[in-house]
Structure 1
Amino acid sequence: MGIIDEITEIVGLENIFSDRIECLCYSRDMSVHQGIPDAVIFPRTTEHVSEIMKLAYRDKVPVTARGSGTSVTGAVLPVRGGLLLDLHLMNKILEINREDFYARVEPGVICAQLNNALARDGLMFPPNPGSEVLATIAGMVSTNASGHRAVKYGTTRDYIKGLKVVLADGTVIDTGTTAPKTSLGYELTNLFSSAEGTLGIITEVICKVESKPEYGALALAIFGDLNAAGDAVTEVTTSGIKLAGCEILDRFSLKVVEEILGRDVSKIEALLLMEADGVKEVVQRDVKRIEEICTKYNVQEFQWSDDPKKREEMMLARGRLVPTLSRIKPGNRLVPIAEDLGVPSSRIPETIRRAQAIAEKHNVTITTFGHVGDGNVHTTFVADVRNRAEWNRLKPAIEELVETAMEMKGTLSAEHGAGITRAAHIERQLGPAMEVMRQIKQTLDPENILNPGKMALEKDKADIYDYFAFQPLIDHPEGVNSFGEEIDNEVLACIHCGFCRLGCPTFSVTHRESKNARGRNALAFYMMNGSIEPSTELAEAFYSCTTCQACTYFCPALIKVDEIVEGVRKKLYAAGFVPEPVQGVRDNILKTGNVYASAKEARIDIYPPALKEKAKKGELKTKAETVFFMGCVPSYLDMKMVPSLIKPMDLAGVDYTTLSTEESCCGFPLYLMGSDDFDPRAKSLMERLKATGARELVTPC
C-alpha cells in the first residue's frame, strides 16, 4: 500500500485528489511563481494532520500547508511536489471567551468570519489584511499579517496567545496559554509565527480579542504635493493623535482607481486615508486637529465621515487597488516582488520618490501605496509578463528597491512574509541570523519535508525568478496556444487573489479549486502556455462552470471569467472533449430544435386557447410591430411564463405575432458549450425574426 492509499484511509476518498488537473489548480498564488503538488488533501482534524505527517516523515515526502492561497510570495506553493494540505475546511470557531478576551479557532477560520462572530458581543480581532474576507487565521499567523489598523493595534503576532502545532514527525504540541501573561520557557508561539509552515503545521489558534471601539471616523485628504502629504502625516503622528490607520496612495495608484473615486486624479500627487477610533469626543477632536494640520500643508481637499457605510465607501478605492493593478494596461499584471518594504514612517515620502525615480530610470511601472502610519510601503510592479525585455528591466529595479530599504534600515517584508520571492535577499537583511534559523529548521524538521524551498532555509543560491510561472511564455512565444488577444489578456490579468471564491456556486458545493474561477483560470493559463492539452479531466473542470458571472461580480479587477471559460470550451469542443450530457443537449438542439428533444408541434401547447387555435390553423399574423419569442424553458418546462406575458400584452392591445411551431432554440447553449454550430443557427433564427417586420422582441427566455 502506497502513502496515498494510507492517507485515503485516514481522511476518506472524498478528501484527497491526485489527478494532474486538480493539482495544477493549486499550483499558483498571487506571486510570479508556481509549484505543483502530487496530491491535494483536505484534513478535518488535528489527528488527521498528525497521522499524515507521520507517514510523510516516514517516507520523506514534502508537505505544504495552505489556507485560502492568498500569498503574494509563493509561500503556499509546493515547489518540491509532495502533499498539499488544504486546511480551509478546518474552519470552526471552537470557543469565544468573553470574560477573558480570547477566541479559540481552527486554522481555516476566515478573519472576517471571526470578526462577524465577535461583533455580536462587541468584540473584535484587530488585524485586518486587505484579504480579510478570505485570509485564514493560521495563514495570518504564518506570515504575521497585519493591515491598515496595525499603526494602532499592531500585527497578528500581537494577538496570538497560543497555538496547537503538528511537527514534522507528527508530534502535536501546544504553545502559549490563555492566561494574561506567562514567562515560562522559550516563546514558541512567536517562533511559529512568520515561519510559513516550515517548522510545523498550525491546527489551532488562541486569539486575543479586544472590545470594539465605541466610535470611529475616517478622513480623506488630497494633496498636490507628495512631500506635503508626508510632512502632514509626520506631524499628525507626532502630535499625540493616535491614528487607527493611515494609508497613502501615489499618483500612479490613484490612476488605477480613478473610476471608483469618481473624479479626475491627474492633479493629485497623493491621497491620505486616516482612521481614528475610540471615545467619540476624543476622535472628533482629533479629526479636527488632523484637518488643521493638513490645511497647514496646503491640502487640496479634506473630508471625513463617521457614517460606517460612507467610511466603507471611502476605503473602497484602497481595498480594490491590488487586484485592479492588472488593469493598468491590457496584457499586464501586477508583479509582487520587493512590494512589501518597511521603513521608518518619516521616510515614507522619500521611499515613494525613490521608487518613482527607479521606475523612470529603468522604464518600468511601479505603483506605490501602503500603510504610511506604520512605515509599510507597497512598491508594486506592473508588467507585460510575456515580454523578456521587461523582465530584464525589472531585475535591476528590484535590486535598487531592496537597496533602498536596507539604506533606510528597514525590512524587505513588513507583512507579506518571505516565501520564494524574498529568498534571494533575505540573508542580506538577516545576516548571521540566517544560520540560527537554519539550525532551528534542522532541529525541528531534520528531513526538510515541511514547505521546502522557502525563506532561503536551504543554502542553495536563490533567484527572484526561481520556479517562474511565466518562463514558457517568454521562452517559446511561438508555442502559445492563444485563445485570442482579448481572452489571453483576461487570463493574464487574473492574479489568483481568490475573491472569486466568495460567490462561486460550484466551489461552495465542492470546495475544489478546479470548480472555482481561480482554478479554472490557472488551467486556462497552463493550456495557453502549452503545458496541458484538452482532456476529459479538463472538460470536467470547465463544463461544470455555470457561467453565472458571480466570480466577476466579486472580482475587484472584474476578470471576464465567463469569456475565459467559453474560450477554453471552444478548444475542448474542437478536440472532441465534451461531456456526454452536454453532447446530449447539442444533439437535441440540432435534431429537434430544442434542448429537451420535444416535438416542435408541442411548442404551442402553452399558448392560450385562442392563440393556440390560430397557430394550428396557420392564421397568426405574418407581420407585426412586436415578435414574441418564447424560448425552450418557457415552452416546455415552466408552464406559467408564457401565459403570464401574453395576458398583459393582449390587454394592452399590443400588435404581436410569434414564430409558432417554426420557433427553434436560440442556440445560446451551443455557444456556451463552444460549438461552431451556434453561428449558422443564430443567423437562421435572426432571418425568421426579421421576416416578421417586428421593431421589438419580447421574450421570457
Structure 2
Amino acid sequence: MFPPNPGSEAIASIGGMVSTNASGHRAVKYGTTRDYIKALKVVLADGTVIETGTTAPKTSLGYDLTHLFTAAEGTLGIITEITVKLEPTPEYGALALAIFGDINAAGDAVTEVTTSGIKLAGCEILDKFSLKVVEEALGRDVSGIEAILIMEADGAKSVVTRDMDRIGEICRKYKVQEFDWTDDPAKREEMMVARGRLVPTLSRIRPGNRLVPIAEDLGVPSTRIPETIRRAQAISEKYNVVIATFGHVGDGNVHTTFVADVRDRENWNRLRPAVEELVETAMEMKGTLSAEHGTGITRAPHIERQLGPAMEVMRKIKQALDPDNILNPGKMGLEKTEKKADIFDHFAFQPVLDHPEGVNSLGREVDDEVLACIHCGFCRLGCPSFSVTQRESRNARGRNALAFYLMNGSITPSAELAESFYSCTTCQACTYFCPAQIKVDEIVEGVREKLYKAGYTPEAVLGVRDNILKTGNVFASAREERIEIYPPALKERVRQGKLPEKARTLLFMGCVPSYLDMKMVPSLIKSLDAAGVDYTVLGAEEGCCGFPLFLMGSDEFESHARQVMEKIRATGATELLTPCAGCYKTFKKIYPQIDDLGLEIYHSVHYLEKLITEGKLKLDKEFAKKVTYHDPCDLGRAFKIFEEPRNILKAIPGVDFVEMARNRLQARCCGGGGGVSANNPDMAVEMGAERVRDALEVGAEIIVSGCAACKDNLRKGAKAIPKKERGKIKVMDITELVARALG
C-alpha cells in the first residue's frame, strides 16, 4: 500500500500530493508523502531536466533535493516522474469509536493514548459541528454528542486487540459515554470514507454558509492538543464565529475550520481577528500553520511569522532556480512586496459581499447551492461529460465556478459559457458523488435560463424548441405519424374515434417511443392488454410533454405545459402511465411547480411490477441471457426508482442478472439527456460508449433500461465501439423483455 491518504484520496493526484507533502489520518503511524518519495525527475525553469534521489535503501550524497522539491508547490520546478516506496498491507486492522459528552475530555484521552506507547494507525476527532457527516455511518442520532474519537490500529492481531482494550481503559478514565471497536473491514471503510468527505459537507451546516479555509490546518505537539481545542472554542465564542474542530489529532493536526455566511460583512469582520488569534495559538504551542494542506496563498500572510529569517533562504533558492518567476508565481509568500500580505488579498467574495442579494442572482436557493460548493473535485468521479473531455469547464466543479462568476457579475453570458452549460446532461451523478450533495442540475438549469434570455442558447437546441412548438414533437414529424407505431387494432380504433371517452388509465407514450423506437409502445400495450387494463390514449393529439423546453431554460415551457395539462385532464383519467423516463420526471416533479395534474403518475416499471405482483401478468417464457440494468437518471437519481426494474428482470425465467460496477445512485449516465444529444451528438455517443463498456466488463449480453432516450443513445454508443470489442451486445427497454416473457 501507499500509506499517505488525504481525505481527498479518491480524487487526489500523486503530483499534487508530492507538491504539498500531503498526508491523512494514517500519518500518525506512517508519516507523510515525503517519507515515501525515493526519487524525482524535475524540469527546471530554464528547461534543464534533473533527477533527484535514488532507489537504493539509503544515500547521504549531496543536498536532499528530493525533499526540497517535495512541498515546493511547483514554485521551483515541474515534477514529471515520481518513484515511490510502498509498504506491505497490514495483516489485521481494527477501528474504535469513543463518544464523549465533553470535547476537552476527548482531547485529554487522545493525549494519553498517543503518549502511552500505543501505535495508532489513525486517530481522528470530530466536534459537534462535524458529526453530522458521519451520522449515517454511525447509524444513530448525533445531536446529543459533543465529540467522537475514531481510532485505528493495524499490524499483528494479538497486538491490535490488546491495544484496543488499552484504548478502552484510557477512554473510560476520561468518562467516555460509549466505547466500542470493530475489525469488520466494511464498517471501518464506511466510517473512514465518511470522515474523508467531511470537509466539503461543512458547507451544509447552515443554508447560505460555506467552509472558509483560513487557519484551518494547525499542527501542534500531541501534548498540546487539549489546550489547542480549548483555545479554538474560546476564540469561536469570543468572536461569534463557527469553528468546526476536527482532524488527525493523533499526529497533532487540528483542523479549525471556519463556516461563514460569505454575504455577511459582519461575519468577515469577526473572522479576521479570530484568524489572527488562531495563528498566535499555533505559534505559542510551538506548532505549525500548515501540517498537511500546504502554503499556497492562504498561509502567505503568516508564513514569515513562523519561518523568520529562513524565509529569505527560501527566496534565494527561488531566485536561483526561477529568476524570471515563471513557476507558480504569487504563491508561498516568496515575492517581496511593499504592502504586507493580508488574508483578504485574494478575496473572491467581494462582489457578493457588496451585493448580498446577488448581482445576477439565480434565485436565493440556487445561489446558496453555488456558494456551498468548495470546488473539492469529488464530482469528477461521476461526471460523464468530464470523463470523455477531461475539461474542467465540462465538469460540475468548473460549471459551479462559472455560475459563481456569472452570479457575482465577473462574467456575462456568452457563446463559450453556453457550450459549458449545454454540454451537461443534468444527470445528477455529480450530486451523489459530492459529499455535500450540491444540486448542480438546478445550478445548470438556472444558468441556462439566463443564457436563453440573453440569446445564447445553441442553434441546435433552439431547433428542438421550434419543432415542439410547431409540430408537437422533438423530431418535427407529422402529428398523425405519432400513432403509426400503435398495434393495428388500436390504431384503427384511434382513427375511427372509437376510443372510450373516459378511462381509468391514460397512456402517455412520449416522443421517442412514438416516433423513433419501434418496439416499446407495442410491447407495453401487449402487456396491458394481457392484464386487462382499462386504458385510453391521446393518439395524434398527444404532444411533447415539454421537458426539452424546461431543460433548455425556455420561457415557453409553462404555457406549453398548461396546454398539455388541459388535454390530460379532459380524459378524466385517474392515473397516467408512461414508458418515457423524461415524461415521468416532467409530470411527477416539474408540472407540480406549475399546477396539480390531479392524477397518479406511473412509469412503466412501477406499473408492470404491480401487475406481475398482483398475478395479472404471467411471465412464463424463458429468456436465457445475461442481462444488466442501466439506471436512467430521470428515474434513478431523480426518484430513487431502483428495485422495481430489477424485481421485474429477476421475475423473468432464465434471466441471469448481473450488476454493473456503477449502479443505482452512482450509475454512469448514458449521455443522452439534458439536450446534449441535440447540442453535441458526438460527445453524447462517446458517453454512451463508456456506459456500454461498463456492461461489457461484467459480461452482459443485454443492456436493459427504462428510458427511451437511454436506449437510443446506448445503441449508438454500442455501434461506436469496434465490433470485435462489443460482440453481439444488445440494448432493450424493459417493456420488451416483459412482452417477450408473456409468450
TM more than 0.5: yes
Give the letter aligned to residue 527 of structure 1: L
1:99-248 map, 5 Å: 124-248=1-125
Counterpart of 1:626 in structure 2 is 505
Q: Is the 8 A contact 1:501 1:517 kept in 2?
A: yes
Go from structure 1 to structure 2 and tell me whether the alpha carbon gap of 1:402 and 1:558 turns closer, same or farther (over 3 Å shift): same
Counterpart of 2:429 in structure 1 is 550
1:78-97 map, 5 Å: none
Q: 3-state SS of the aligned residue for 1:220?
A: strand
Q: 3-state SS of the aligned residue for 1:348?
A: helix
Give the letter aligned to residue 211 of structure 2: L
Q: 3-state SS of the aligned residue for 2:149?
A: strand
Q: 3-state SS of the aligned residue for 1:377?
A: strand
For residue 449 of structure 1, report the CA deviation from its aligned partner: 1.3
1:255-270 map, 5 Å: 255=132, 257-258=134-135, 261-270=138-147
- Of 677-686 and 562-571, deviating more is 677-686
Q: 3-state SS of the aligned residue for 2:129?
A: helix
For residue 321 of structure 1, report the CA deviation from its aligned partner: 1.1
Counterpart of 2:737 in structure 1 is none
Aligned: 1:686 with 2:565: yes
Counterparts of 2:163 and 2:466 in 1: how far apart (Å)? 70
Counterparts of 1:491 and 1:184 in 2: how far apart (Å)? 51
Go from structure 1 to structure 2 and tell me whether the alpha carbon gap of 1:349 and 1:639 turns closer, same or farther (over 3 Å shift): farther
Q: Is the 8 A contact 1:245 1:373 kept in 2?
A: yes
1:135-182 deviation digits (Å, cap 9, x = unpaired) = 111111111100000000000010000111111111110000011111
Q: 3-state SS of the aligned residue for 2:436?
A: coil
Which of 577, 580, 597 aligns to 2:459? It is: 580
Give the letter aligned to residue 287 of structure 2: G
Counterparts of 1:428 and 1:373 in 2: how far apart (Å)? 25
Q: Is the 8 A contact 2:104 2:229 kept in 1?
A: no
Counterparts of 1:331 and 1:133 in 2: how far apart (Å)? 27
Which of 296, 308, 318 aligns to 1:441? It is: 318
Go from structure 1 to structure 2 and tell me whether the alpha carbon gap of 1:284 and 1:478 turns closer, same or farther (over 3 Å shift): closer
1:472-491 map, 5 Å: 472-477=351-356, 480-491=359-370
Q: 3-state SS of the aligned residue for 1:514?
A: helix
Counterpart of 1:656 in structure 2 is 535
Aligned: 1:598 with 2:448: no
For residue 264 of structure 1, report the CA deviation from its aligned partner: 2.5
Counterpart of 1:383 in structure 2 is 260
Counterpart of 2:386 in structure 1 is 507
Give the letter aligned to residue 406 of structure 1: M
Counterpart of 1:498 in structure 2 is 377
Counterparts of 1:680 and 1:258 in 2: how far apart (Å)? 44
Gaps of 5+ in 2: 581-743
For residue 410 of structure 1, report the CA deviation from its aligned partner: 0.4
For residue 240 of structure 1, report the CA deviation from its aligned partner: 2.2
1:506-552 deviation digits (Å, cap 9, x = unpaired) = 11111111111111111111100111111111111110111111111
Counterparts of 1:341 and 1:479 in 2: how far apart (Å)? 34
The higher-RCO structure (CA 8 Å, 6+ apart) is 1
Counterparts of 2:103 and 2:203 in 1: how far apart (Å)? 24
Counterparts of 2:172 and 2:272 in 1: how far apart (Å)? 40
Counterparts of 2:20 and 2:328 in 1: how far apart (Å)? 14
Counterpart of 1:44 in structure 2 is none
1:224-282 deviation digits (Å, cap 9, x = unpaired) = 12232122222222222211000000112124554554433232121011011111222
Aligned: 1:696 with 2:696: no
Aligned: 1:531 with 2:410: yes
Aligned: 1:422 with 2:309: no
Q: 3-state SS of the aligned residue for 1:368?
A: strand
Q: Is the 8 A contact 1:167 1:200 kept in 2?
A: yes
1:346-425 map, 5 Å: 346-425=223-302
Instruction: Percent identity, please.
Output: 81
Counterpart of 1:645 in structure 2 is 524
Q: 3-state SS of the aligned residue for 1:573?
A: helix
For residue 473 of structure 1, report the CA deviation from its aligned partner: 1.7
Counterpart of 2:443 in structure 1 is 564
Counterparts of 1:405 and 1:582 in 2: how far apart (Å)? 56
For residue 424 of structure 1, report the CA deviation from its aligned partner: 0.4
Aligned: 1:612 with 2:503: no
Q: TM-score, normalised by structure 2?
A: 0.77
Counterpart of 2:641 in structure 1 is none
Counterpart of 2:165 in structure 1 is 288
Q: 3-state SS of the aligned residue for 2:323?
A: coil
The alignment yields a C-alpha RMSD, in angstroms, of 1.3
Counterparts of 1:545 and 1:303 in 2: how far apart (Å)? 45
Q: Is the 8 A contact 1:261 1:317 kept in 2?
A: no
For residue 284 of structure 1, report the CA deviation from its aligned partner: 1.7
Counterparts of 1:158 and 1:260 in 2: how far apart (Å)? 32
Counterpart of 2:655 in structure 1 is none
For residue 475 of structure 1, report the CA deviation from its aligned partner: 3.0
Q: Is the 8 A contact 1:249 1:369 kept in 2?
A: yes
1:659-678 deviation digits (Å, cap 9, x = unpaired) = 11100000000000000111
Give the letter aligned to residue 269 of structure 2: N
Counterparts of 2:500 and 2:137 in 1: how far apart (Å)? 50
Q: Is the 8 A contact 1:626 1:656 kept in 2?
A: yes
Give the letter aligned to residue 549 of structure 1: Q
Counterpart of 1:78 in structure 2 is none
For residue 691 of structure 1, report the CA deviation from its aligned partner: 1.5
Q: Is the 8 A contact 2:6 2:196 kept in 1?
A: no
Give the letter aligned to residue 233 of structure 1: V
Q: 3-state SS of the aligned residue for 1:252?
A: coil
1:488-508 deviation digits (Å, cap 9, x = unpaired) = 011101100011111111111
Give the letter aligned to residue 288 of structure 1: D
Give the letter aligned to residue 666 of structure 1: C
Counterparts of 2:153 and 2:163 in 1: how far apart (Å)? 8
For residue 632 of structure 1, report the CA deviation from its aligned partner: 0.7
Counterparts of 1:483 and 1:525 in 2: how far apart (Å)? 10
Aligned: 1:671 with 2:544: no
1:287-312 deviation digits (Å, cap 9, x = unpaired) = 12222222232221122221211111
Q: Is the 8 A contact 1:256 1:328 kept in 2?
A: no
Counterparts of 1:208 and 1:624 in 2: how far apart (Å)? 71
Q: TM-score, normalised by structure 1?
A: 0.81
Counterparts of 1:248 and 1:676 in 2: how far apart (Å)? 50
Counterparts of 2:368 and 2:146 in 1: how far apart (Å)? 29
1:120-145 deviation digits (Å, cap 9, x = unpaired) = xxxx1100000111111111111110
Counterpart of 2:401 in structure 1 is 522
Q: 3-state SS of the aligned residue for 2:9?
A: coil
Counterpart of 1:336 in structure 2 is 213
Q: Is the 8 A contact 2:8 2:197 kept in 1?
A: no
Counterparts of 1:534 and 1:300 in 2: how far apart (Å)? 56
For residue 382 of structure 1, report the CA deviation from its aligned partner: 0.6
Q: 3-state SS of the aligned residue for 2:245?
A: strand
1:594-619 deviation digits (Å, cap 9, x = unpaired) = 11111111111111121111111111
Counterpart of 2:182 in structure 1 is 305
